[in-house]
Amino acid sequence: MTITAEPMTLDTPVAASPAHRNRPFRLTRHSAALAKRALIKTMRTPEALIDVTIQPVIFLLLFVYVFGGAISGSQHDYLQYLLPGILGQTIAMGAVAIGTNLNSDIEKGVFDRFKSLPIGRIAPLVGSVLADVVRYALVTVMTIGFGYVLGFRIHTDPAAMVAGCLVAIAFALALSWVSVYIGMLVRTSGSAQGIMILIVLPLSFGSNVFVQANTLPGWMQAFVKVNPITHLVDTMRGLFLGGPVTSHLLWTVGWMIALVVVFAPLALRAYNRKV
Amino acid sequence: MKYAIEAKGLVKHFGDTKALQGVDLAARPGTVLGVLGPNGAGKTTAVRILATLLKADAGAAFVNGFDVCAHPEKVRQNIGLTGQYASVDEDLSGMQNLRLIGSLLDLTTSESKARAKELLEWFDLTEAADRPAKTYSGGMRRRLDLAASLVGRPSVIFLDEPTTGLDPAKREDMWDVVRKLVVDGSTVLLTTQYLEEADALADEITVIDHGRVIAHDTPLGLKRIVGGQTLSVQPTDPSRVSETTAILRRISGAEPKVLRAGVLAVAVNDNDALTETVARLASAGIGVTELSLHLPSLDEVFFTLTGHRVGTGLGIAAAERSRPQANGENS
């Protein structure tokens, strides 16, 4: 594996170092190594870890016990209604991190180090996405697990529950492209985070996460009815508790396709320009 | 292949800023090329182009004979990069940082672990190996940055201002590392703001200013141009300045100038000048609080080469030197 002191008297380029042997699946391995790095960082950064662990717990507790009685009359009934909503909200919030983290890597010069290495340009991005899948899975387990402790129950079957969770994770990944694009556009990681929260917060509160849409004023209902989070949450409600799924799922998938079609090319172009 | 590092006519503009306006650089295999210049001269831009991080607007660059534009992946297999910008991850420990780079360089798990241990030991970071890099001191960070660029045993190493902000003892340590790299056969391109550093390490020095090469020579040749060494003396008793001036004039054959209040300086080319000065001052019974022989500062080099001072003539180079973590150039 060493190449030190290679005589370089030939008039031809020096061959690549034997250290960089052509082992297969290079992109996969590099992305996995970078995903591991992203996860170590999440575990080392308290606020990043809180986002995916404590936050859904606090939101569940607050909304079930502060508003549950007032909104629904029964805290137990409200929990059944609220939990898919909190999962949708938390996982959408989770998509804020990827753009913020990529921006901060570029800002701090970590990306320059990666760029000087013989790895695929796309590997750091793929690594971040892989790490996000793990984080989203963790959010899902935390939210449903703590929901169970409080009295939430799946009324359908495990397969439907898993399907509901997968839709939520897929939606967060689609939303990630917006986050990546903004992360590549703005100067600091702080502004990337600020802009993304400005997008995700109205989407998650201006939805049916906390209350039924028919309790809202008409103009607000119009917004709620096209809001992707509304349809994501209704899809999960259908899959967790029973009820109509198809139309909400179609809306959700439609939104996901729209997000990817519009923002993936923009994000990739901006990423390739920066990286 | 004549040169391990070669750049021809590099041009790079950032909007209205002309960072590089036709820069040529060349380093033969197994040597150190010092690139000397003030902040904003274009040193970092040149390194970033050679290290494939940036594309030049015009000109060509080769590393180990590979064109950086046509075969960037080949170049990346051959280089190590350490700069104020190519950074380690602060949240990861020293060990995790080096092992991550090992994985990205396709080392097996055991190879990358062994290499990381070896480098941590060499850079005296073994005790701090498992602490997050953000807890490291400035000197430790620099050593980890350098270790990170050496994981793949690169044959060409770019060091962008490796000692800016380090105290003199740490600077000497870094110099020893660079010397060892060259003994091991690597080619090093080192950018610096200090003639002293370029003189201590480089086989050849290229001086750049405002994106242009203004001199290229061996350290000896460059010193010959800019006037060798400066002898400065501060008599303890200010009333004996004129006597001291006479002594210095006799030894150097030139007119000493007043460097600061009470400090006299004169250019000397003779290695015996210092001992002769000491002997004469002693026989005249003149005590001194300062007596030193040093290379001209970057400012003096520039003044000789270009007729203008670095920056606005306020001695920016000197100010940068005294600032612990100089920002370096942004271009």
Q: In angstroms, rounded to a whole number, what is the distance separating the alpha carbons of residues B30 and B188? A: 8
Which residue from B83, B101, B186 is facing A117, i.e. has the nearest CB? B101
Query: What order of strands is seen across the sheet that includes strand B212-217?
Result: B79-82, B156-160, B187-192, B32-36, B204-209, B212-217
Does B292 reach chain A within 8 Å, measured CB to CB?
no
User: Which pLDDT belongs to residue B272?
Assistant: 81
Residue of chain B minimizing CA distance to A5? B185
Instruction: Work out the number of other CB atoms within 10 angstroms of the CB of residue A181.
Output: 22
Interface of A with B in 16-35 (CB under 8 A): 16-17, 19-21, 23, 26, 29-30, 33-34
Q: Is A17–B78 a contact, with Cβ atoms under 8 angstroms apart?
A: yes
Which residue from B29, B79, B107 is facing A116, i.e. has the nearest CB? B79
Q: In angstroms, rounded to a whole number, what is the distance separating the alpha carbons of residues B291 and B274? A: 9
User: Which pLDDT belongs to residue B290?
Assistant: 86
DSSP-derived pairing of the beta strands B5-14 and B17-27: antiparallel
User: Which pLDDT belongs to residue B51?
Assistant: 94
Interface of B with A in 55-84 (CB under 8 A): 64-66, 73-74, 76-81, 83-84
SS (H, E, C) chain A: CCCCCCCCCCCCCCCCCHHHCCCCCHHHHHHHHHHHHHHHHHHHCHHHHHHHCHHHHHHHHHHHHHHHHHHHCCHHHHHHHHHHHHHHHHHHHHCHHHHHHHHHHHHHCHHHHHHCCCCCCCHHHHHHHHHHHHHHHHHHHHHHHHHHHHCCCCCCCHHHHHHHHHHHHHHHHHHHHHHHHHHHHCCCHHHHHHHHHHHHHHHHHCCCCCCCHHHCCHHHHHHHHHCHHHHHHHHHHHHHHCCCCHHHHHHHHHHHHHHHHHHHHHHHHHHHHHC
Which residue from A10, A109, A116 is facing B76, i.e. has the nearest CB? A116
Q: In angstroms, rounded to a whole number, what is the distance separating the alpha carbons of residues A64 and A80? A: 10
Buried b / exposed e over B10-30, threshold 16 CB at 10 Å, is: bbbbeeeebbbbebebbbbbb
B304 alpha carbon, distance to own chain's centre: 20
Chain A: give the shortest CA distance to residue B174, in Å.
19
Does A274 reach chain B within 8 Å, measured CB to CB?
no
- Tokens 């001052």 identify what position? B281
Residue of chain A minimizing CA distance to B50? A116
Does B234 reach chain A within 8 Å, measured CB to CB?
no
Q: Which residues of B touch A34 (CB under 8 A)?
A: 100, 104
Chain A: give the shortest CA distance to residue B146, in Å.
11
Residues of chain B with pLDDT under 50: 312-331
Residue of chain B minimizing CA distance to A27? B104
Which residue from A12, A115, A119 is facing B65, i.e. has the nearest CB? A12
Does B269 reach chain A within 8 Å, measured CB to CB?
no
- Tokens 């992707």 identify what position? A228
Q: In angstroms, rounded to a whole number, what is the distance separating the alpha carbons of residues B180 and B119? A: 13
Q: Is A108–B81 a contact, with Cβ atoms under 8 angstroms apart?
A: no
User: Which pLDDT belongs to residue A71?
Assistant: 83
Q: What is the pLDDT of residues A98-135, one digit of tens each?
A: 999 999 999 888 998 999 999 999 999 999 999 999 99
CA atoms within 13 A on the CB side of B207: 26
Q: Is A13–B155 a contact, with Cβ atoms under 8 angstroms apart?
A: no
User: Which pLDDT belongs to residue A19?
Assistant: 46
Residues of chain A with pLDDT under 50: 1-20
Does B9 reach chain A within 8 Å, measured CB to CB?
no
SS (H, E, C) chain B: CCCCEEEEEEEEEECCEEEEEEEEEEECCCCEEEEECCCCCCHHHHHHHHCCCCCCCEEEEEECCEECCCCHHHHHCCEEEECCCCCCCCCCEHHHHHHHHHHHCCCCHHHHHHHHHHHHHHCCCCCCCCCEHHHCCHHHHHHHHHHHHCCCCCCEEEEECCCCCCCHHHHHHHHHHHHHHHHCCCEEEEEECCHHHHHHHCCEEEEEECCEEEEEECHHHHHHHHCCEEEEEEECCHHHHHHHHHHHHHHHCCCCEEEECCEEEEEECCCCHHHHHHHHHHHHCCCEEEEEEECCCHHHHHHHHHCCCCCCCCCHHHHHHHCCCCCCCCC
Chain A: give the shortest CA distance to residue B88, in Å.
6
Q: In angstroms, rounded to a whole number, what is the distance separating the alpha carbons of residues B60 and B50? A: 9
Contact between residue B232 and residue B260 where contact means Cβ atoms under 8 Å apart? no
- The angle at the Cα of B184, spanning B181 to B186, to the nearest 5 degrees, equals 60
Chain A: give the shortest CA distance to residue B296, in Å.
33
Does B113 reach chain A within 8 Å, measured CB to CB?
no
Which residue from B2, B4, B104 is facing A119, i.e. has the nearest CB? B104
Tokens linked to A260? 């990817």
Q: State whether ipTM is beyond 0.90.
A: no
Task: Classify B23 in phi/psi space as left (phi over 0), alpha (psi -120 to 50) or beta.
Answer: beta
Enter the pTM of the model: 0.81
Q: In angstroms, rounded to a whole number, what is the distance separating the alpha carbons of residues B85 and B104? A: 19
Query: Which are the contacts of B73, defined by CB distance < 8 A and separation ≥ 6?
Result: A118
Which residue from B1, B91, B107 is facing A10, i.e. has the nearest CB? B1
B229 pairs with which residues across the strands?
B268
- The angle at the Cα of B46, spanning B40 to B47, to the nearest 5 degrees, equals 105
Q: Is B81–A112 a contact, with Cβ atoms under 8 angstroms apart?
A: yes
Instruction: State the sign of the Cα–Cα–Cα–Cα dihedral A24, A30, A31, A33.
Output: positive
Q: Of B100, B141, B158, B188, which to mutate for an interface test with A (greatest number of A Cβ within 10 Å)?
A: B100
The one-letter code for the residue type at A194 is G
Q: In angstroms, rounded to a whole number, what is the distance separating the alpha carbons of residues A55 and A65? A: 15
Q: What is the pLDDT of residues B82-108, one digit of tens each?
A: 987 668 899 999 999 999 999 999 999
